[in-house]
Structure 1
Amino acid sequence: MQQHDTTPTTGPTDLASTRTAFGTPCWVSLTSRDLRATEAFYTAVLGWEWRKAKLGDHFRIALADGAPVAGIAAVAAMWHMAVAWTPYFAVRSADEAAGRAQERGGTAAVGPISLPPGRAALLADRDGATFGIWEGELLTDWETWRRAAPAFIRLHTRDAFDAAIFYGEVLQWASAGPGCCEVTYEAEEVVLRSGGDVVARIESGALGSAPDPTIRPHWQIHFAVADVAACARAAEHHGGSVLRQDAGEAVLRDNDGAQFTVTTSREP
């Protein structure tokens, strides 16, 4: 997450509030080492354009059809951070959510910290999967972001039920309050819905001690695209790699090592 004198530069701000839609994914952020190379890669693969962020030359906002979809921060080497995509979830109180996470065996890597007009934290669940939380105004209307940005996110973890309990308690899924998310079990996965739309899935199978990030517990970002094969070719041409590919989906690694998925479906 990033900040400047008035608003977060690559985090959610401005229009919609986490007080009306909470527990749901509301933003994704990428840490990288080389901003120009990152921009070139995602422009080639996903067709993104870029907007400067006020914090400085290391930060950018990614745009799809003019709508903000993600934050990019070229600070991985400078701040000794992993190169990775991270989802952020809307919460009513970042301090309370971070406290609930720590009480249940999670850890806080950063924050909560004030990033007017809100508060944010970077956390890890008890199996080590990293995620962020955001309290406050969003960069764009949530529905607009959902249409322009990721199709959905998926948690690969050791025990889907245990993870669902952890996140449900931390993010207040299936609570009685208006605007909360619904949780169901379908086709051997835990499914999270917001406003009737699937916004996240949790599946079992990742190995906690595995050195390979494709099987360690982690959140995977899925971007909807028109042509999976073209994205895979562009990724390889621009220094990335294809980890897995079929007709409707490909797991890619960018030129800096961050992993993500492209899919032709808005919902798996």
Structure 2
Amino acid sequence: MNHETPVSDAANGKAPRRRDVVSTHSVFGAPCWVSLTSRDLEATQNFYSAVFGWRWRGAKLGEHFRIALADGVPVAGIAAVAAMWQMAVAWTPYFAVPDADVAVARARERGGTAAVGPLSFPPGRAALLADRDGATFGIWQGELVSNWEAWRRATPAFIRLHTRDAFDAALFYGEILDWASGVPGCCEVRYEGGEVVLRSQGDAVARIDSGAVEAAPDPSVRPHWQIHFAVSDVPGCARAAEKHGGSVLQEDETEAILRDPDGAQFTVTSHRAP
């Protein structure tokens, strides 16, 4: 992750230094970043440039890391560490937290696991976790991407957890990330349209799905977080993915589930979709 802009310390009683950016002390519990592990940095950049039109810049973390830009806004990170660290190739969402150590301790107490960290990545700290059903997610303490609202508007559209029991998962994440705690800046949790929906400042930023309410938890579901990127041309993205070594797993007029050449799965969702 790469965060370079000073943030407001208003939540800690200090004078704000900038008005257009925030820290995890004033916005927390919501998705704040997405990252991808990769085996081949150049090939990965070429693929996502073809599908999304992203441009790239280096990251402070070193030559194995890149930051994706959409219309100049940093929207995602790519780390070519999958082979080096023997990690799975996958997209991972990161949630903003005021204290990474507290969040990791809460996750462990509730049956989750900490795969990596918390580690220091100035100007913040990060950890990679798995919930008690095995779905991987990250947490980030520190400065957020400059102009957080611009990041939210640029991409992704939202993230969705496919899991065996949506209500059990909502309790797990809610207790770790202080969802529906009533603290200023926290996220609201609602049940809408057959899913548990996480809202930040009124916007749906995450969804948790486990199928029909009356159905028993499905043991065949492999729990995972799916990243949904908002695009204007779903078929165009799907054709670009196929042309550049990826594959289309499912497609309709408003949404397509794609897989990149490394095997990482993601979804493109039309801007016009509800």
TM score, norm. by length of structure 1? 0.91
State the identity %. 75
Q: In the alignment, is residue 88 of structure 1 matched against residue 90 of structure 2?
A: no
Matches for 1:240-255 after TM superposition, within 5 Å: 240-255=246-261
In the alignment, the residues of structure 2 paired with residue 140 and residue 38 of structure 1 have an alpha-carbon distance, to the nearest angstrom, of: 24
Q: Hey, what does 1:139 align to over in structure 2?
A: 145
Paired AA for residue 89 in structure 2: V
In the alignment, the residues of structure 2 paired with residue 143 and residue 267 of structure 1 have an alpha-carbon distance, to the nearest angstrom, of: 20
Paired AA for residue 133 in structure 1: I
Q: Hey, what does 2:13 align to over in structure 1?
A: none
Residue in structure 2 matching 1:37, options 38, 43, 68: 43
Q: Hey, what does 2:118 align to over in structure 1?
A: 112
Paired AA for residue 219 in structure 1: W
In the alignment, the residues of structure 2 paired with residue 257 and residue 267 of structure 1 have an alpha-carbon distance, to the nearest angstrom, of: 26
TM score, norm. by length of structure 2? 0.89
Matches for 1:167-178 after TM superposition, within 5 Å: 167-178=173-184
Structure 2 alignment gaps of length 5 or more: 6-20, 212-216
Residue in structure 2 matching 1:151, options 134, 157, 178: 157
Paired AA for residue 159 in structure 1: D
3-state DSSP of counterpart to 1:150: coil
State the shift of 1:119 in Å: 1.3
Residue in structure 1 matching 2:189, options 180, 183, 186: 183
3-state DSSP of counterpart to 2:153: helix
Report if the CA contact (8 A) 1:156-1:219 is conserved.
Answer: yes
State the shift of 1:56 in Å: 2.7
Residue in structure 1 matching 2:67, options 57, 61, 65: 61
3-state DSSP of counterpart to 2:238: helix
In the alignment, the residues of structure 1 paired with residue 96 and residue 144 of structure 2 have an alpha-carbon distance, to the nearest angstrom, of: 9
Q: In the alignment, is residue 229 of structure 1 matched against residue 239 of structure 2?
A: no
State the shift of 1:11 in Å: 4.1
Structure 1 alignment gaps of length 5 or more: 1-9
Paired AA for residue 202 in structure 2: G
State the shift of 1:12 in Å: 4.4
**For the aligned residues, what is the CA RMSD?**
1.4
